[in-house]
Amino acid sequence: MSGRRGNHEAPHAGAPSASPAYVQVDDIKAVAATAKSLEAAIVTDVTEVMGMGWLSIFIDPTGAALGLWQQRCRPAGASAPQPGPENPSGKH
């Protein structure tokens, strides 16, 4: 099984071994800066996700991984997502 990772191994050094819990925030840059000032290790700096919003992942000083999410606001008058093959329920 050379070259394959088990399900519990981190994809690269310093990354969490599993998907972290995410917290929705209003100002991701400010929250990420606060986490860094409190000695969290930033794994993924604030990154835009396909026009949907931004994410950031860090490891706190105790070793726990946490993800931050800031949703991009829809412009006024924009319709809600419609159901389709990628989104059968039509929900966010």
Token duo for residue 57: 């992942």
**Does the global pTM surpass 0.75?**
no
Q: Which amino acid is at 75?
A: P
Q: Is the pLDDT of residue 5 over 80?
A: no
Q: What pLDDT digit, counting tens, does each position of 73-89 carry?
A: 866 666 555 555 655 54
DSSP code per residue over 6-26: -TTS-SSTTS-SSPPEEEE-S
Which domains, ranges and CATH numbers included, belong to the chain? 21-71 (3.10.180.10)
Q: What pLDDT digit, counting tens, does each position of 13-56 carry?
A: 655 567 889 999 999 999 999 999 999 999 999 999 998 999 99
* Contacts for 92 with CB less than 8 Å, ≥ 6 apart: 71, 81
